[in-house]
Structure 1
Amino acid sequence: MTRLTAIVIDDELFAREELIELLSEFDQIEIIDQASNAIEGLKKINQHKPDVVFLDIQMPQITGIELLSMLDPDTMPNVVFVTAYDQYAIQAFEDNAFDYLLKPVDPCRLAKTVKRLNKRDTTQTESFDPIAPPTLDQIPCSGHNRIVIIATKDVEFAYSDLSGVHVQTATQKATSQLTLKVIEDKTSLIRCHRQFLVNVKAIKEIKLLENGLAEIITQSDHPIPVSRRYLKALKETLGFH
């Protein structure tokens, strides 16, 4: 029998431990990690790529629903919401989430969820668009042994390299657990290079170079490459044809 890998994310220690204890009764589920907040949870989801995530909704700084919108749709696991608020479940989760559980979790109800998960082809994913926020107002980042939440409007540009995905504001650089694709899809930043996204409002000037290339200079004087592929669209966005 194939066991489904799972991560439990809940800021309440007692609730998290209780759910893990209940899940340990099922041979079909293997708990591979846990997290006490959405930022830590996002990191562990990207690291482990579990089959299913049991996700609390009401958490500080970033809620479970906001975390949902930060997941890459190409690798998104099945998500089972865990909530103490029945109205949330009735409003949103019944039709759009894979499943939801009300706190305190009833073992019989949990058994039904596990049975459904076991029947499901875990390579498929649900569409969460109806409940996930269409845009991200903030980007969770880490840097210098701390966790920072950066307002999307303050980001001048984002880029990827071998060490990960980074966002740059006028005053700080931080590493994010979000993929460049999620940032592009969920924010107003636009693609200017295969590895760079830019906030149009942060552009101070564009230097046109040879061979159809260009270079953006941001308001805080950071240079950003512009490739031929994206230069035309960038100029059109700025009103130059």
Structure 2
Amino acid sequence: MLNVIIVDDELPARENLRCLLEKDPDVAIIAECHNAMEAISKIHRLQPDVVFLDIHMPKINGFEMLSMLDPQTMPSIVFLTAYSEFAVKAFEEQAFDYLLKPVEQDRLNKTLCRLHQYQLPNNVKHLDMVNQNLDYIPCVGHNRIYLLNLDDVFYIASKISGIYVFNQNNDEYFTELTLKTLEDKTPLIRCHRQYLVNLKKLKEIRFNESTGVSIILNNDISVPVSRRYLKSLKEMLGL
């Protein structure tokens, strides 16, 4: 059984693909998403086998969204688009397949046949599918998506309620991206199991016998440093 998520900002396109996929008894559509941020959340939570991903979406397109997924849980990606010129780019991103919209049943069946074979136990998924670094961090709030430039990010913290990005004013923004993805695909540095920092915003490193080691940022916010990461941090700074 293939667990599938459809990601497309156009309702008619989602409905058309859903109707075609439902003809295969070995396909289960576990979610439909109308934007990239909703899709990232569903992919992390539901861990589908396959994502049918539209390339042209507002704010964050399909290629950008792919670069924001955790490589360790990367599903097979089938890109969807009405523009054939994106075929080469799709396969450069190591997509499993590429379908032109409106999707036709015969062409989809060929893709599904290959997907069923690919999902056999003896096959191993590629974990490092996309090496593209992020230019910004997508965050959600107040019925909108914020695209925070990395130069505006001071630190990132993992809390019980999720991952939060902080700017100069210490305003917090929720993101669906994992701390691991943010560590791998941005210049931010891990200083603690729950924190990443922007070393460009570093003001000082403070050593205190009672509270341990802390990084003081340019906005005077203190971020903890664990012993595990202190040595590598000092090496990066030439200390």
Q: Could you say whether these structures have the same fold, taking a TM-score greater than 0.5 normalized by the shorter chain as the test?
A: yes
In 1, Cα distance between equivalents of 2:37 and 2:21: 23
* Conserved? CA contact 1:213–1:231, under 8 Å: no
Q: Tell me, what secondary structure is at the counterpart of 1:125?
A: coil
Sort the Cα spacing of 1:60 and 1:95 in 2 relative to 1 into closer, same or farther, 3 A: closer
Aligned to 2:220: 221
Q: Give, as a single letter, the amino acid of the residue that structure 2 aligns with 1:70.
A: M
Quick check: 155-164 or 229-238, which moved more?
229-238
Q: Which runs of 4 or more aligned residues in structure 1 lie more than 6 Å from their structure 2 counterparts after TM superposition? A: none
The reply on whether 1:230 has 2:224 as its aligned counterpart is: no
In 1, Cα distance between equivalents of 2:193 and 2:162: 14
Aligned to 2:202: 203
The reply on whether 1:125 has 2:132 as its aligned counterpart is: no
The reply on whether 1:104 has 2:102 as its aligned counterpart is: yes
Sort the Cα spacing of 1:11 and 1:144 in 2 relative to 1 into closer, same or farther, 3 A: closer
The reply on whether 1:175 has 2:168 as its aligned counterpart is: no
In 2, Cα distance between equivalents of 1:51 and 1:17: 20
Q: Give, as a single letter, the amino acid of the residue that structure 2 aligns with 1:158.
A: I
Identity of aligned residues (%): 51
TM-score (norm 2): 0.91
In 2, Cα distance between equivalents of 1:95 and 1:11: 21
Q: CA deviation at 1:178?
A: 0.6
Sort the Cα spacing of 1:16 and 1:128 in 2 relative to 1 into closer, same or farther, 3 A: farther
Sort the Cα spacing of 1:169 and 1:140 in 2 relative to 1 into closer, same or farther, 3 A: same
* Conserved? CA contact 1:138–1:151, under 8 Å: yes
In 2, Cα distance between equivalents of 1:149 and 1:33: 24
Unmatched runs of 5 consecutive residues or more in structure 1: none
* Conserved? CA contact 1:96–1:127, under 8 Å: no
Aligned to 2:25: 27
The reply on whether 1:184 has 2:210 as its aligned counterpart is: no
Quick check: 63-72 or 119-128, which moved more?
119-128
Aligned to 1:152: 150
Aligned to 2:54: 56
Aligned to 2:8: 10
TM-score (norm 1): 0.90
Q: Give, as a single letter, the amino acid of the residue that structure 1 aligns with 2:18.
A: I
